[in-house]
Amino acid sequence: MDFSPSARSAELTERVRNFVTTEIEPVEPEIHRDIKARREGDGDPWTPSPIIADLQQKARSQGLWNLFLPAEHAGRYAADFGTDGGAGLSNADYAPIAEAMGSSGLAPVIFNCNAPDTGNMEVLLRYGTEEQRKQWLEPLLTAEIRSAFCMTEPAVASSDATNMAATAVLDGDDVVINGTKWFSTGVGHPDCKVLIFMGVTDAEADRKSRHTMVLIPIDAPGVTVDRMLTTMGYFDEPFGHGEVSFDNVRVPASNILLGPGRAFEIAQGRLGPGRVHHCMRAIGLAEKSLELGVRRALSREAFGKQLARLGGNSERIADARIAINRSRLLVHHAAWLLDQGLSREAVSAVSEIKVEVPNMALEVIDLAIQLHGGAGMTDDFPLAQAWVGARSLRLADGPDEVHRNVVARIEFGKYR
C-alpha cells in the first residue's frame, strides 16, 4: 500500500494548482460579473470572455493541456499533437490533477479537460474512424471547437435507457434522426459544432443492442436548440444546458460511431473515467468550499467568539474534513481499480463514488454557505453555484438511486 502520488502526478498537480491559483482565480470573479452584467442587459452572455482563450493558450504552451487523455492513447497522439496528446496519465495519476482543476468552476475548460468534451474526445479516440477523428477529434483536442452529448430526454425517465424515444433509423447510406433531447451540456457555446446523439435504431433488438450513437453537426438541417435550461437559476454560460430537437435530421451512415446498435458498448467505456473526473472535480470543489468556510469562520466574530469556535461549528468542520478525506480516497481507489481493468469491483467502485461524492460535496458546501450567512447564497462567493453544480451531479450520469442499485446488485452477487 502506497498512498503517495507518482512523481509525474505530483509535479503536474502542483503545476496545475499553481496555474489555478495565480492565473485563473484572480480573473474568475471578473468573468462571472461580466456574464452577469451581459445577462442583465449589456450584451450576449453566451459569448465567452476572451480571457478564456488567452488562458487556454497559456496552459497549452506549458504542457498543461489534455491531461485527461488516457495513457493508452498518449503515445499515439504525442506524435501527432505534441503536448496536445496529454501526458499519458493513468486514472490514478490524473485524479489529483482533476481535483486541482475542480476547485475552480472555470479551470477545467482552461486545461481542455472539461465535460462533456473530455468524454466525447475519449469516445472518438476509442471508437472513432480515422475520418471521424480527423474531422472532430483534432479540433476538439486544440479547443478549436466544442461538443455536446445528447442522451437524456424530457418526456421519459431516462435513467432507464430502454425508455429512450428518440430514433436513429438507417435509410440507405444515411441515418435519419428524430426526437428531443435535453440537458445537452455545451450547446450554448458558440463554438459547439458537433453533437454525439444516442437513439433507438432497432426497438426489437436485445436490450443492449437497440441504440446507436451518431455524430451530428449542430448546423445539420433539422437540428434546433429550442431553449437553454437553467439549473436553480443558473444558465452556466458560456456552455449551458440545452433542449435540442431533431426533426428528420439526415446524416451519412459514416457518422455512426462503432456501428448501429453499439451505443451501449460505447457508453460503458465512456462513463467510468468520466465519473472519476466528475467526482475528483467535486472533491476539489468541496475542498475549496471548506477552505472558504473555515477562513470566513475564523475571520468573523459573534457573541464574543470566532464563528469557527461557536456552538457546533468546529465539530461540523471536523466532520467536513473527515468526509472530504474519505471520499477522496474512495475516488483514488476507484481510479486505481479502473487502471487495473474493468472488473466487477471497478464497476461497483465507480457507482459508489457517484453516490458518495456529490452527496458529500453538497454537505460540505452547504456548511460553507451556512458559515457565510446570507453572503453564501449570493454570487459574491462561488458557493451557491458550486452547490447547484454538485446537486446536478446527483442526477447527471445516472441518479443516485440507479448507482445504488448497481452497487447492491454486485453485493448480492457475492452470495449466490
Q: What is the DSSP letter of 5?
A: P
**Interface region with a copy of itself, contact rule CB under 8 A, candidates 17-25, 173-181, 228-236, 259-267:** 228-236
Binding mask 156-185 for a copy of itself (x = CB under 8 A): xxxxx--x------------------xx--
- The verdict on 363 binding a copy of itself (CB under 8 A) reads no
Cα–Cα distance measured from residue 240 to residue 154, given in angstroms and rounded to the nearest whole number: 16
Cβ 377 vs Cβ 388: under 8 Å? no
- The verdict on 4 binding a copy of itself (CB under 8 A) reads yes
Q: Which residues contact 300 (CB under 8 A, 6 or more apart)?
A: 306, 307
Backbone φ and ψ for 178, nearest 5 degrees, come out as -140, 150
Backbone φ and ψ for 264, nearest 5 degrees, come out as -65, -40
Q: How far is the CB of 111 from a copy of itself (least distance, A)?
A: 21
Which lies closer to a copy of itself via its Cβ, residue 142 or residue 224? 224
Which lies closer to a copy of itself via its Cβ, residue 79 or residue 157? 157
Cα–Cα distance measured from residue 65 to residue 56, given in angstroms and rounded to the nearest whole number: 8
Cα–Cα distance measured from residue 240 to residue 371, given in angstroms and rounded to the nearest whole number: 29
- Residues in the interface with a copy of itself (CB under 8 A) total 99
Which lies closer to a copy of itself via its Cβ, residue 61 or residue 378? 378
SS3 396: coil
**Interface region with a copy of itself, contact rule CB under 8 A, candidates 24-32, 66-74, 278-286, 315-323:** 315-323
Which lies closer to a copy of itself via its Cβ, residue 51 or residue 395? 395
Q: Which residues, 109 to 148, sit near a copy of itself by CB under 8 A?
A: none
Q: How far is the CB of 287 from a copy of itself (least distance, A)?
A: 11
| Binds a copy of itself (CB under 8 A): choice among 114, 327, 347, 382 | 327
Cα–Cα distance measured from residue 196 to residue 199, given in angstroms and rounded to the nearest whole number: 10
Select from 188, 178, 189, 185 the least CA-distant residue to 155: 178
- For 202, 208, 211, 253, 256, the CA distances from 205, given in Å and listed in that order, are 6, 8, 9, 19, 18
Binding mask 294-313 for a copy of itself (x = CB under 8 A): xx--x-xxxx---xx-xxxx
Q: Which residues, 343 to 362, sit near a copy of itself by CB under 8 A?
A: 348-349, 351-352, 355-356
**Interface region with a copy of itself, contact rule CB under 8 A, candidates 138-146, 186-194, 213-221, 405-413:** 405-413
Q: Which residues, 231 to 250, sit near a copy of itself by CB under 8 A?
A: 231-234
- The verdict on 229 binding a copy of itself (CB under 8 A) reads yes
Which lies closer to a copy of itself via its Cβ, residue 92 or residue 256? 92
Q: Which residues, 26 to 65, sit near a copy of itself by CB under 8 A?
A: 39-41
Identify any residues that bridge with 215 across adjacent strands, giving them in sequence order.
Answer: 196
Cα–Cα distance measured from residue 332 to residue 148, given in angstroms and rounded to the nearest whole number: 27
CA 260 to chain centre: 26
